[in-house]
Structure 1
């Protein structure tokens, strides 16, 4: 029995966990929001679903056969069937209500006419008075009255059917960005090819630290101390940087020339320890140094209690209108504003959503998120992906969740790889041990 076994693990580790569990011959129970992981292993899925019935939301537990995509298709079929039944029941109840109202109106008109005839009738005309009494009797106690009673009973039954139909609780999928727009700059970030040393906030040009310089036009490398040219180092700037950054002082992430535009949607992927956070740090430092400043929303992978306290203080300090707008956006990310306002500290997943909605007020041109799906349930992941897909500016996301990246509209991928895997070194090193390289 495993609870969220793929949180904080990279793709390679995820694959090894899947392989190990496939070899297990006993009973496996997994709590997970990782769609790919569930699809690879599950034979049936237990859904905790929010239903709306008789005016309130309740949690229901349902078991469906198959992996997630198969079970989710069954759940969607059930939801559509419920919605169709509700629409039909409401239509029938409205039709019967209209028939009842029309009959009530006709009866009122008939009563008015009868009253007018009775008022004008000669009191001594006994035949006319008896005919009027017969008319009243037939209209209220006869077949017409019985028909009206039947219609009213059918109407009430239709209303009861409408109230008893179970439908999915409301989920929000509106726009949270409050008139956000992309930057008008042609380029938000530019990094020259080189090496980002681990723990550093700067890019060292290829060959600078090792005492080698590479001529961009000829590809010749020159030793700075002797002036001796050694010939073309390699076929590409990335390989040139990798070949020249060979000493221990240069251990870090080797990058090609990078450019980030106003509409780019970049997924930063790779195994843990290969330099993704290092690259994010240097990208953020360039954004903060830009003149004029580039509005940026960045949320780290690991939030703290201090982040939660500051977010709640910011929320409390907003005007009523701004607070309402933030909470509306928060609800659209599959979160409960009432629970947030009830007090206490938000969970890590709730805090991520709140930080995103508070940041949306500042109209960012670029959003950078590090493993944003950690601690989020499946519906929250889907809601966040829709929100990111609708954002008009630049999005950079560090994630191992390929399904989430696809749903968020990520179209460009930057992969951090151990250098050993690239150059064929069988030492098995990765991370700061042998350096890493960024592949586009």
Structure 2
């Protein structure tokens, strides 16, 4: 039976690295999910498990059969991949036939590799990996950029795997369907393994963190109480010492009787008692502060982002009918039913569905063009699937041009979306994920009435997806989005409108 055991593992060089704190893991047959923010070491952990990297300290013991297969995040053509694919194509065994059928793999022309869809390339990559009958299968973001049909085929194939599987993913639906154990990686190098699928493990973790927050609040309250008592003890000590000095000055040098000696003794005892009280209170305060510092707590984001929301006066923001397409269509083949107009109300939650290539982005761009004609463009936020380098730089320029109050509001929203405002102010070019958070924050800060989002969870890690989802769930305006992340979409559904999009064979006349 395959197993991987990690004991006291540290991975860092020169004081830098994702895992400076020793950690243990026990991995057994079945699927283990690995989750965490971008940059915390998820891919590094996979490479440690595969043996591509060696730990600086500790031990990694692997008990497995003939093969470990690694499904890399990228599916670039390489000689090694070419050999694997050729073996799968030329293997006419029953097992290889079942794999090709399961993953819907047809004849492959290597010259067409770069023209295949992301889903087709990922299915071939997975088929080649499974064809080697690995006892350990390590997958890095296998569902990235896949449409609904490709994700379903991928999930079915992975669910049939009976070895030891480890999957790095931000896809909550995939993690829930496959995994019986979840490994959480936190910033600072903390590694935590919990039983259950992602939803179960995250819920248990959330309850534990709520308990930590409660303890943290009590510890802070005790710290404030001890600080107050220490201040009072110091005041009593100072008062006693003043009384002792006054008593000493008033005492007659010739007065040596028992009464005088008793007064002196009481004063000295009071001073000593006050000093001891100060020491006790200082010690209690130190313990209270240590308790606060020991309770690492993540403060929840502000839920008051939209308290000053200004709703539009009209209940229907825009209507798009077939007669509008010649003027606004983003693609000449976009069609709407002749008897149907699409309308967006001021509180609608609209999801555009369809496989890759169905024209979802073209429809969204068409609606944005129509919205700009019907509304103040500042009240419309358009977030495309990808932001190029110039667009990402322009976002920073827009942020820098705001006054202090407006910039502060944008950065508050960036923080609520799971971003790092301080890091954003330092960078000359935000990452694709940070740029998406900034674009969203700029639109929300100017109180956009309509958000049009094309794959809004692209480039967002799992914590950021959940933060953006929570923020958009409380957004009071109209939301139109396209996304293959079904959990993300489900979390945002207040009302749902499904549009069927058709693409005509030929452009319209004229």
Same fold per superposition (TM over 0.5): yes
Taking structure 2 as the reference length, the TM-score comes to 0.64
Please report how far the alpha carbon of residue 23 of structure 1 lies from its aligned counterpart in structure 2 after TM superposition.
0.9
Helix, strand or coil for the counterpart of 1:277? helix
Partners of 1:69 and 1:194 lie apart in 2 by 46
Equivalent residues of 2:335, 2:501 under 8 A apart: no
Which of the numbers 156, 162, 172 marks the counterpart of 1:19? 156
Helix, strand or coil for the counterpart of 1:62? strand
Give the RMSD, CA atoms, in angstroms.
3.1
Please report how far the alpha carbon of residue 178 of structure 1 lies from its aligned counterpart in structure 2 after TM superposition.
8.3
* Aligned length, in residue pairs: 366
Please report how far the alpha carbon of residue 82 of structure 1 lies from its aligned counterpart in structure 2 after TM superposition.
2.0
- Alignment partner, residue 265 of structure 1: 349
Please report how far the alpha carbon of residue 132 of structure 1 lies from its aligned counterpart in structure 2 after TM superposition.
2.3
Q: Would the alpha carbon gap of residues 107 and 61 (structure 1) be closer, same or farther in structure 2, given more than 3 Å must change?
A: same
Q: Would the alpha carbon gap of residues 293 and 315 (structure 1) be closer, same or farther in structure 2, given more than 3 Å must change?
A: closer
1:140 partnered with 2:224: no
Which of the numbers 290, 301, 318 marks the counterpart of 1:172? 301
Structure 1 unpaired stretches of 5+: 51-57, 207-236, 238-255, 419-430, 435-440
Q: Would the alpha carbon gap of residues 325 and 21 (structure 1) be closer, same or farther in structure 2, given more than 3 Å must change?
A: same
Q: Which moved more, 1:190-199 or 1:35-44?
A: 190-199
Q: Would the alpha carbon gap of residues 120 and 166 (structure 1) be closer, same or farther in structure 2, given more than 3 Å must change?
A: same
- Alignment partner, residue 184 of structure 2: 47
Q: Deviations over 1:305-348 (max 9, x none)?
A: 22112222323333344333322322221111232232342211
Give 1:145-294 correspondences, 5 Å limit.
145-146=275-276, 148-168=278-298, 170-176=299-305, 179-192=308-321, 199-200=331-332, 206=338, 256-290=340-374
Q: Deviations over 1:34-65 (max 9, x none)?
A: 11110001111111224xxxxxxx34221111
- Alignment partner, residue 79 of structure 1: 209
Partners of 1:416 and 1:369 lie apart in 2 by 18
1:408 partnered with 2:472: no
- Alignment partner, residue 474 of structure 2: 390
Partners of 1:176 and 1:94 lie apart in 2 by 30
Q: Would the alpha carbon gap of residues 156 and 281 (structure 1) be closer, same or farther in structure 2, given more than 3 Å must change?
A: closer
- Alignment partner, residue 65 of structure 1: 195
Which of the numbers 83, 86, 106 marks the counterpart of 2:236? 106
Equivalent residues of 2:417, 2:464 under 8 A apart: yes
Structure 2 unpaired stretches of 5+: 1-137
Please report how far the alpha carbon of residue 403 of structure 1 lies from its aligned counterpart in structure 2 after TM superposition.
2.2
1:301 partnered with 2:370: no
Q: Would the alpha carbon gap of residues 413 and 134 (structure 1) be closer, same or farther in structure 2, given more than 3 Å must change?
A: same
Partners of 2:375 and 2:460 lie apart in 1 by 35
Partners of 1:198 and 1:356 lie apart in 2 by 22
Q: Would the alpha carbon gap of residues 296 and 147 (structure 1) be closer, same or farther in structure 2, given more than 3 Å must change?
A: closer
Partners of 1:327 and 1:373 lie apart in 2 by 19
Helix, strand or coil for the counterpart of 2:301? coil
Which of the numbers 324, 341, 366 marks the counterpart of 2:450? 366
Which of the numbers 353, 361, 377 marks the counterpart of 2:437? 353
Equivalent residues of 1:99, 1:151 under 8 A apart: yes
Please report how far the alpha carbon of residue 294 of structure 1 lies from its aligned counterpart in structure 2 after TM superposition.
7.6
Equivalent residues of 2:213, 2:297 under 8 A apart: yes
- Alignment partner, residue 130 of structure 2: none
Q: Deviations over 1:268-305 (max 9, x none)?
A: 22222333223213212222233776831111112212
Partners of 2:436 and 2:324 lie apart in 1 by 31
1:8 partnered with 2:145: yes
Partners of 1:294 and 1:120 lie apart in 2 by 80
Equivalent residues of 1:97, 1:155 under 8 A apart: yes
Please report how far the alpha carbon of residue 188 of structure 1 lies from its aligned counterpart in structure 2 after TM superposition.
1.9
Helix, strand or coil for the counterpart of 2:165? coil
Q: Would the alpha carbon gap of residues 22 and 258 (structure 1) be closer, same or farther in structure 2, given more than 3 Å must change?
A: same
- Alignment partner, residue 224 of structure 1: none
Please report how far the alpha carbon of residue 409 of structure 1 lies from its aligned counterpart in structure 2 after TM superposition.
4.3
Q: Would the alpha carbon gap of residues 163 and 287 (structure 1) be closer, same or farther in structure 2, given more than 3 Å must change?
A: closer
Equivalent residues of 2:316, 2:345 under 8 A apart: yes
Please report how far the alpha carbon of residue 405 of structure 1 lies from its aligned counterpart in structure 2 after TM superposition.
2.2
Higher relative contact order (CA 8 A, sep 6+): 1
Partners of 2:474 and 2:163 lie apart in 1 by 44
